[in-house]
Structure 1
Amino acid sequence: METWWDHSHDWSAAMSGYRLFRRDRQHRRGGGVVLCIRECFDVVGLEARNDKVESLWVRISGKANKASILVGVCYRPPNQDEEADEFYRQLAEVAKSSALVLVGDFNFPDIPWKHNRAQRKQFRRFLQSVEDSFLTQLVREPTRGGAPLDLLFTNSDRLVGDVVVRSCLGQSDHKMVEFSILGEVRKGTSKTAVLDFQRADFELFSTLVGRVPWEVVLKGRGVQEGWALFKKEILMAQERSVPTCPKTSRRGRRPAWLNRELWFELRRKKRVYNLWKRGRATHKDYKAVARLCRDKIRRAKAHLELNLATAVKDNKKRFYKYINTKRRTKENLHPLLDAGGNLVTRDEEKAEVLNAFFALVFSGKTSCSLDTWYPELVEGDGEQDVALTIHEEMVGNLLQHLDVRKSMGPGGIHPRVLRELAEELAKPLFIIYQQSWLSGEVPVEWRLANVTPVYKKGQRVDPGNYRPVSLMSVPSSWSRLS
């Protein structure tokens, strides 16, 4: 709520053990915001860039590998129109922080936050801005006069908890909103291990796999058991011949445009800068080196982006990888409405809602008959010619043409491994595929997929506005052999 403080007050409202941050309204009565932060925290107050928006921001430094938390308090006057653009511009800017907590009196009484819908145009614009910034509103009870005027936003579900609406404080007509900042957001460090193919020994890999007598190992085995044995042997050989390395985070990754020449230019720029600071070079010398370095970086970026755009059809993964590095925030899945109309915010609950919806609309029926899909597998009266279904050469040809830039899916076998060892793996995969076709059985792992919901259009709280994209195990695409 607003403080109504101004410079005429010469008293201090700071509490013992707390550091006071305040921002008063300029040239008008009312308004004003204040923050009290415990002195044990390392806090830096951020300078306000715009006097039209009544907000106050501080950054609480994280400890160890914890990320800093941006905490803000805002007061939005009722029927605010003149400063609306500045307000939404600031909201979009602060939402780029990796850990954000925003509280305040926003004066939006007619928004039913349970359904994230509004009738008035001004309210709809606020909701759209909140959705575009991937913020979650956590206050579900009225805070003044039966309406939730005081709101709490965060961009991480694990950052804020224990949200409770208490009684009014003193003579105020606003209820207190009590919550805890859990501080569990960590910096962008990854413990995920990925295969380091640059240091891989594929000759050793090929030798280890070639020693396995596949016909003897897979003889008399069922499809499920045969696939399990095949995968076990491949992963054992892979562990000995392909080392792993930690997956680099966005901060630790070298820019794609940074080549050897630019690396030396940047080092030269830094060296001249240090000389200038020590008085051993002129400012003109440093500016000349900085200008030359800046021009080369711009040309390198333009050349890289041109190459990515030209080769986007052949290498989409590299193109979108570069695009994602330009995004300053990671898109979190927006809260969803379950079947009962309740808004769910936890990741597990969102997964259950989407899983239930995708399973509801999924149809096991197919509009195509077998002879339409695989005409070469059907002869005469519709019986399948099993003997001509799959050949070892077909399997080897498919393995040799795999796209190594694709992900390996839940199977755990990378396309690069399958293509490098196409000659050695053609026979065991041919045996497994043929057994699967003859028995009508498919390994359980081939029916698993990593499903990612992709937002299409409409309201983000509606599960029907998401499209499922599945990443399956590479060998599970055996139907392409036909």
Structure 2
Amino acid sequence: MHTYIETHEPDVIIGTESWLFDSVDNNEIFPEDFSAIRKDRYITRGGGVFIATRKNIIAVEQVELDTDCEIIWVEIQLVGGKKLLVGAFYRTPDNRDPAYLEQLRVSLSRVRLNRNTTVCIGGDFNLGDINWANSTVVAGSNFKVQAETLIEIADQFDLEQMVTEPTRKKKILDLFFTNNSTLVKNVKSTPGLSDHDGVPLIDLNIKPQTIKQKPRKLYMFKKADMEGLQKGMGNFTSNIVSGNTTSVEHDWNEFKDGIFKCMDENIPTKMSSMRNNTPWITPEIRRKLREKQRLYNKAKETGNEEDLMKFKTIRKEVQKASKLSYWNWVRSYCINSTKQFYGFVKKLKKDSVGIPALKHQGRLISDGIGKAEVLNHQFDSVFTNENNMENMPKQEAFPPMPEIHVVTEGVAKLLRNLDASKAPGPDRLTPEILKMFTDTLAPALTHIFNKSLSTGILPTDWQTANITPIFKKGDRTAAAN
């Protein structure tokens, strides 16, 4: 899959026969710049469908369109307020159950078709005995009933089938339907994966709404002016300690702004750049990928068995070379650093689906603010309110607690024990800078802590946290899970 993405650069991937199951996380299979919505087969081996989209595309799973067949839907927001519904469907080659395709019909009937919604559904239908040029079934077909049912469904929902070139053994098994064929700029067959000779690549004339990842400012600490930093830190911290303000918020903001000012003046910066997500794809492998495409085009054009065998041979070579290069890269990346090794393993086990659409009061909430409100309601509902003072013991029964006074030595000890590699919180102060100038910053922090205790006031930053809900198990649309 990585080599296919490297070669053709798709934005959306419709996949069938994924053979995945619950214990396999997305990051173990898909590139890190893709998010995947899956419907795995749990009872028997094989099967499974997924839709993978680039992470900058806003795609939301449409659970309400799901039916009792291997089908999955996502909604992609387009520029101008329009929507694109993308579905993935799979039917096994030997499935003769007439009710199976009826589940596809039920799913399509749930789609709210209007002029602002474009529907696209693709997958391996395994019905190669259909002549889509005139929507007829080839004489002698063993699956005539199923083929006629699919033609009828396409006609019922005004769906046009766009794939015209064979995808396996001179038959069109992989299909792509849409209710707006004018958006299809091009359909071409690309070198196949697994046992399929070709994979349809669809070029749609649409513009999805995207989340633009803003470059982050990175401080280059190794090139910092340490003397300038030390002097600047000393100046603003002494002002805080000797200041006469009674506002904790003022002192904290002065502390925070002083650090950022010193960093900007004395530490060179650079903007984060996009990482190469496939560093193991070497120039030699890219050359083989181009050769594979050339041989595929030739085999498709001539229909010659010898040309087809040449294509299949180099396809195996590319797969073998890519796997070998990948594991060599993993070995070289992890062998010299325990931290990189565990970071690599952690990344593989980290699912990147994000927060799916959530059910609330019978409705499916898919927008970001709405999902945050649903989760907030869930957290609030399980919060224990302990304002009942009736059973509190009388104060006279206990001696008064002495005044708490924070000392500089204690603050300095905590700062020295910070993990400099950890990410900052909402206040954006990095542990690295706090640890680097412990002796200079500790007195100012001690002053702020003691003032907070004496006034009973917390700065706004201290009351703010980044909360990331983590899915446990069960229904992904339930906020409680």
TM-score (norm 2): 0.51
Match of 1:163 among 72, 95, 117: 117
- Once the 2 structures are TM-superposed, how far is the Cα of residue 59 of structure 1 from its aligned partner? 12
Q: Contact 1:191–1:246 (CA<8 Å) still a contact in 2?
A: yes
Contact 1:70 1:97 in 2 (8 A): no
Other structure's SS at 2:155 match: coil
CA distance in 2, matches of 1:355, 1:149: 32
Q: Deviations over 1:437-475 (max 9, x none)?
A: 11211111101011111111111000001xxxxxxxxxx
Structure-to-structure mapping, 1:165-314, within 5 angstroms? 172-174=155-157, 182-184=206-208, 190-212=214-236, 213-215=238-240, 218-251=243-276, 301-302=330-331, 305=334, 311=338
Of 97, 106, 123, the residue aligned with 1:148 is: 106
The DSSP-based 3-state class of the residue aligned with 1:337 is strand
Q: CA deviation at 1:178?
A: 5.0
The residue correspondences of 1:337-348 to structure 2 (distance < 5 A) are 337-338=359-360, 340-348=361-369
Judged with a 3 Å threshold, the aligned counterparts in structure 2 of structure 1 residues 186 and 171 are, in CA distance, closer, same or farther, namely closer
Tell me if the contact between 1:192 and 1:246 (Cα under 8 Å) persists in the aligned partners: yes
Q: Which amino acid aligns with 1:114?
A: E
- For residues 38-77 of structure 1, what are the structure 2 equivalents within 5 Å? 68-70=11-13
Q: Indicate whether 1:332 and 2:354 are aligned.
A: yes
Quick one: distance in 2 between partners of 1:294 and 1:393? 54
The RMSD of aligned alpha carbons is 5.4
CA distance in 2, matches of 1:59, 1:395: 50
Deviation at residue 347 of structure 1 after TM alignment: 2.2
**Corresponding residue for residue 459 of structure 2:** 443
Partner of 2:52: 95
- Which residue of 2 is the match for residue 114 of structure 1? 64
Query: Which residue is equivalent to 1:360?
Result: 381
Residue 28 of structure 1 corresponds to: none
Judging changes above 3 Å, is the alpha-carbon distance between structure 1 residues 253 and 197 closer, same or farther for their aligned structure 2 residues? farther
Cα 1:328–1:456 shift into 2, 3 Å: closer
Partners of 2:444 and 2:432 lie apart in 1 by: 17
Is the contact made by 2:105 and 2:153 (CA closer than 8 Å) also made in structure 1?
no
Could you tell me how far apart the structure 2 residues matched to 1:296 and 1:146 are? 41
Alpha-carbon distance in structure 2 between the residues aligned to 1:101 and 1:209:
43
| Distance of aligned partners of 1:458 and 1:250 in 2 relative to their CA distance in 1, 3 Å threshold | farther
Distance 1:292 1:113 in 2: 39
- Inter-partner Cα distance in structure 2 for 1:385 and 1:434: 14
- Structure 1 equivalent of residue 147 of structure 2: none
Aligned residue pairs total 314
Distance 1:178 1:293 in 2: 38
CA-to-aligned-CA distance 1:200-227 (integer Å, 9 cap, x gap): 3333211111123235553233211211
CA distance in 2, matches of 1:464, 1:234: 40
Match of residue 383 from structure 1: 400
SS in 2 for 1:453: coil
Residue ranges of structure 1 left out of the alignment (5+ in a row): 1-45, 47-56, 75-80, 103-111, 154-160, 259-265, 274-290, 368-379, 466-482
CA distance, structure 1, for counterparts of residue 110 and residue 269 of structure 2: 42
Find the counterpart in structure 2 of residue 472 from structure 1: none
Equivalent pair of 2:158/2:179 in contact (CA under 8 Å): no
Mapped contact 1:202–1:420 kept (Cα < 8 A): no
Cα shift at 1:384:
2.5
Name the SS of the counterpart of 1:172 in structure 2.
Answer: helix
Q: Pick from 455, 459, 471: which aligns with 2:471? A: 455
User: Aligned equivalents of 1:250 and 1:327: distance in 2?
Assistant: 20
Gap change, CA 1:392 and 1:366, over 3 Å in 2: farther
Amino acid at match of 1:174: F
Asked whether the equivalents of residues 224 and 266 of structure 2 are also in contact (C-alpha less than 8 Å), the reply is yes
Distance in 2 (CA, whole Å) between partners of 1:61 and 1:218 is: 62
Partners of 1:222 and 1:300 in 2: how far apart?
A: 54
Structure 2 Cα separation of the partners of residues 366 and 402 of structure 1: 35
Q: CA 1:146–1:85 in 2, change beyond 3 Å: closer, same or farther?
A: closer
2:95 is aligned to none
**2:408 corresponding residue in structure 1:** 392
Out of 403, 421, 435, which is 1:405 matched to?
421
Calculate the TM-score normalised by the size of structure 1: 0.51
In structure 2, C-alpha distance between the alignment counterparts of 1:58 and 1:434, rounded to whole Å: 56
Q: Relative to 1, partners in 2 of residues 1:320 and 1:184: Cα closer, same or farther, differing over 3 Å?
A: farther
Change in Cα spacing, 1:292 to 1:353, as seen in structure 2 (3 Å) is: closer
Cα distance in structure 2, aligned partners of 1:147 and 1:298: 44
- What are the ranges of 5 or more consecutive residues in structure 2 without an aligned counterpart? 18-40, 75-83, 88-100, 120-150, 160-177, 184-203, 289-319, 389-396
SS in 1 for 2:106: coil
**Is residue 13–residue 53 contact of structure 2 (8 Å, CA) maintained in 1?**
no
The answer on whether the counterparts of 1:200 and 1:241 sit within 8 Å (CA) in structure 2 is yes
Tell me the CA shift for residue 231 of structure 1: 1.3
1:409 alignment partner, SS class: coil
Q: Distance in 2 between matches of 1:172 and 1:296?
A: 47
Q: For residues 227-278 of structure 1, give each alpha carbon's deviation from its aligned partner in whole angstroms, at most 9, with x where no partner exists.
A: 11211211111111223322233426978xx9xxxxxxx89x89xx9xxxxx
Would the aligned equivalents of 2:57 and 2:210 in 1 still touch at CA under 8 Å? Answer: no
Gap change, CA 1:217 and 1:325, over 3 Å in 2: same
**Alpha-carbon distance change, 333 to 253 in structure 1, aligned in 2, over 3 angstroms:** same
Q: Retained in 1: the 8 A contact 2:56–2:211? A: no
Counterpart of 2:456, as a letter, is: G
**Offset of 1:162 from its aligned partner?**
3.4
Alignment of 1:415-426 (within 5 A): 415-426=431-442
CA distance in 2, matches of 1:459, 1:214: 55
Counterpart AA for 2:357: P
Q: Percent identity?
A: 19
TM-superposition CA deviations, 1:255-314 (whole Å, max 9, x none)? 8xx9xxxxxxx89x89xx9xxxxxxxxxxxxxxxxx999999857744754666xx5xxx
After TM superposition, give the deviation of residue 325 of structure 1 in Å: 5.5
2: CA distance, partners of 1:138 / 1:295: 34
